[in-house]
Structure 1
Amino acid sequence: MSQLSTRLSRLLNMVPYFAANPGISAAEAAAELGVSTTVLMNDLNQLWMCGLPGYGPGDLIDLSFSEESIQVTFSAGIDRPLRLTSTEATALLVALRSLVEMPGTADPTAVQSAIAKIESAAGSAAGGTHAAPPAGDEDPVAATVRSAVGRGHALDLTYFSASRDAVTRRVVDPVRIVLMDNHSYLQAWCRQADGVRMFRFDRIDAATELDEPARPPQAALDDAHATDLFHDDEALPQARLAIAADHAWVMDYYPMTEVMVADDGSIEASMRYGSLDWMARLMAGFGPGVRVLGPAELSESVRVRAAAALAAYAQAADHR
Structure 2
Amino acid sequence: MSDKRVAGDRVAAPSGARTSTRSTARSTAETATQRLGRLLDMVPWLLRHQGVSIEEAAREFGLTSAQIESDLELLFVCGTPGYTHAELIDAQWDDGHIYLANADDIAAPMRLTRDEAVTLTAGLQALGSTLVNSEVVERTLEKLRKATTAADPGGGQIALDLDDGSQHSVMTQLKEALGARRRVHLSYYVATRDETTERDVDIMRIVNLDGQWYLEGWCHRADAVRFFRVDRIEAATVLDEDGTPPPEATPRDLDDEIFVPSEGDLTVVLEAAPQAAWIADYYPNEGIVRGADGWVRVTLKVADPALVRRLVLRLAGDVRVASPSELASAVADEARAALTLYERG
Q: TM-score range by the shorter chain?
A: 0.5 to 0.7
Match of 1:230 among 255, 259, 263: 259
Number of the residue aligned with 2:159: 132
CA drift at 1:220: 2.8
Deviations 1:237-293 (A, max 9, x none): 221100111112223443322222223332111223344444323312211211100
Secondary structure of 2:317's counterpart equals helix
Letter in 1 for 2:225: V
Residue 145 of structure 1 aligns to which amino acid in structure 2? L
Report how far residue 314 of structure 1 moved: 3.0
1:185 match? 214
Whole-angstrom CA distance in 2 between matches of 1:237 and 1:304: 19
Report if the CA contact (8 A) 2:124-2:141 is conserved.
no
Change beyond 3 A, Cα 1:84–1:291 = farther
Q: Which consecutive unaligned segments of at least 5 residues does structure 2 have?
A: 1-37, 43-57, 63-107
The structure having more radius of gyration, on CA atoms, is 2
Partner SS for 1:303: helix
Q: CA shift at 1:176, angstroms?
A: 0.9
Question: Does structure 2 retain, via aligned residues, the 8 Å contact 1:156–1:208?
Answer: yes
Match of 1:115 in 2: 141
CA-atom RMSD in angstroms: 3.8
- Contact 2:192–2:306 (Cα < 8 Å) also in 1: no
- Which AA in structure 1 matches 2:302? Y
Q: Match of 1:195?
A: 224
Please state how far the C-alpha of 1:159 moved relative to its aligned partner: 0.8
1:154 is aligned, of 164, 183, 197, to: 183
Cα distance in 1, alignment partners of residues 250 and 192 from structure 2:
24
Name the amino acid aligned to 1:155.
V
Q: Distance in 2 between matches of 1:143 and 1:196?
A: 22
Distance 1:88 1:162, change over 3 A: same
Percentage identity across paired residues of the two chains: 30
Counterpart Cα distance in 2 of 1:254 and 1:151 = 37
Structure 1 portions without partners, runs of 5+: 1-51, 61-82
Distance 2:204 2:288 in 1: 32
Match of 1:246 in 2: 275
Report the CA distance shift for 1:115/1:241 in structure 2 as closer, same or farther (over 3 A).
same
2:308 maps to 1:279: yes
SS at match of 1:220: coil
Provide the rounded CA distance (Å) in 1 between the counterparts of 2:316 and 2:276.
10
Aligned to 1:14: none
TM-score normalized by the length of structure 2: 0.58
Instruction: Give the secondary structure class of the aligned counterpart of 2:292.
Output: coil
> How far apart, CA to CA, are the structure 2 residues paired with 1:268 and 1:132?
53
* Cα drift, residue 196 of structure 1: 1.6
- Name the amino acid aligned to 2:141: I
> Are positions 1:293 and 2:338 aligned together?
no
Q: Of the candidates 271, 294, 309, which is equivalent to residue 338 of structure 2?
A: 309
Q: TM-score, normalised by structure 1?
A: 0.62
